[in-house]
Structure 1
């Protein structure tokens, strides 16, 4: 049997192409497995850093770090920081049907658009975007703005009507938050209400003076996140100590003893967020 050189070249090319295609498919499957594992990873109590700075050629190059996983009451928890250059928009208007997002402004002003409401908010401001609401962000200033994004997907089904019946999405400028003076610093209540994801979601900010403890070590059934905006603290979680600085997120799982100490020389500032599912006290 005689096979001319053209036929042999075509066969060889097809064979090599098949091998390459097989390797691409294998890599895609491997990547999908890695992503799936990341999505289903159980996040433990501890400190997660969202901001890192690498120095390259004398310049500070900021890298985004995304934390993704699940907890007792969350099928998915995602956390990352983002920046917007002047005149830029983060993405076209969109609605997330399966999760809520908390936006906390690191460096403003940031223009937040939720459905038909547009609001320009300053540094330290916070927004709750409930499932089903159309949203995007814009930088109308002449400087780079940055913000943190915390995404929550409950282990319970989404209930968009519950969220709407209880006021829906929230945008709070930092200057709108009412200050309550304490013997340790200041606190500001943000909201405490049912949402599309939770039977109850509560958020407040605390400014803690140097050398002070937030409170005696305690525990509770509800999971909690603290996002540190300013200062340096030592977080005490289940008899372990963690040093944290601005840009750190602290996750505390159910019934884990915890408190924090301001170990810096200036007041520290952080948001505390707790969520309650139907099985949470």
Structure 2
């Protein structure tokens, strides 16, 4: 009987450890300082993404990140922080300056190079959806996309500026939408609200206060904001200069229309 109780206790503790680990692997709504995290890397799972990986990288002049390779099970967003980054996708290359953004769909061969004489810094956000990858869907909806900052269409607003990047299906999602927002000093992104989609906001410049749930968080350039579905949120530019950020949102199959 004593042995049985010990075995039962060990099984219970093992299950508890597994549950705790699973919960700790899930990303929570909040502001993350990617630069201060060990390895400059944040990884976890969400309600719609099996693996969400975000990291900051640098390349010295003349260096490449890796030989050309294709990622068959995930797609990536690449955003240049400072400097110039040359991306080669399926043999075609393009150089992006600070603020430039790329979507690399699953199955496309990729590599990055710093062809300049100065260090380049950039962010990579990788998505491996819980839904099966659909490489053909990604290709049929435009494939990989590279946009330099000065190529984005500017739409003036009463609060600042908006720059749509894309809104379409991809290899990971039925609908994937990215835009850049610039807010003048003192302006709010919108009134506190919630939505059913997960969202990432990458703050590229300025100082803001991020309202999430019942709490307020300070955020500065380089911080990543992650929002789970159904949580009340909004952003206020509390600095003296304009702030700007990329807003990234993806939709489940039933929400894509």
TM over 0.5: yes
Kindly state the Cα deviation for residue 116 of structure 1 after the two structures are TM-superposed.
2.0
In the alignment, is the contact (CA less than 8 A) between 1:38 and 1:69 conserved in 2? Answer: no
The answer to whether 1:84 aligns with 2:59 is yes
CA contact (8 A) 1:38 1:68 kept: no
Q: Please state how far the C-alpha of 1:274 moved relative to its aligned partner.
A: 0.2
Q: How does 1:97-136 map to 2 (within 5 A)?
A: 97-136=72-111
Residue 174 of structure 1 is aligned with which of 149, 171, 174? 149
CA distance in 1 between counterparts of 2:223 and 2:68 reads: 29
Q: Give distance in 1, aligned partners of 2:23 and 2:74.
A: 14
Distance in 1 of aligned mates of 2:134 and 2:24: 23
Deviations 1:148-192 (A, max 9, x none): 000111110000000001001110010000100111110100000
**Deviation sequence 1:98-154 (CA, Å, 0-9, x none):** 111000000121101111220011100000000011001000000000100001111
SS at match of 2:171: coil
SS in 1 for 2:208: strand
Among 240, 254, 270, the residue aligned to 2:215? 240
Q: Secondary structure at the match of 2:146?
A: strand
* Matching residue of 2:193: 218
Residue 149 in structure 1 maps to residue 124 in structure 2: yes
Residue 279 of structure 1: CA displacement?
A: 4.1
Residue 47 of structure 1: aligned partner = 31
One of 120, 138, 162 as aligned partner of 1:163? 138
Determine the structure 1 residue equivalent to 2:6.
none
Q: Which residue of the partner structure matches residue 67 of structure 1? A: 42
Residue matched to 2:10: none
Q: Structure 1, residues 193-213: CA drift from partner, whole Å, max 9, x if none?
A: 000000000000001011110
Q: Which runs of structure 1 show a deviation greater than 3 angstroms over 4 or more consecutive aligned residues?
A: 37-40
* Alignment partners' CA distance in 2, 1:39 and 1:190: 33
**Unmatched 5+ stretches in structure 2:** 1-16
Size of the alignment, in residue pairs?
Answer: 238
State the shift of 1:50 in Å.
1.2
Larger Rg: 1
Q: Is the 8 A contact 1:68 1:78 kept in 2?
A: yes
Q: Name the CA distance, whole Å, in 2 between partners of 1:189 and 1:49.
A: 25
Cα RMSD (Å) of the superposition?
1.8
SS in 1 for 2:241: coil
Distance in 1 (CA, whole Å) between partners of 2:250 and 2:71 is 19
**CA distance in structure 2 between the aligned counterparts of 1:252 and 1:210, rounded to whole angstroms:** 23
Residue 187 (structure 1) aligned with residue 136 (structure 2): no
Q: Which runs of 5+ in 1 are unaligned?
A: 1-32, 54-62
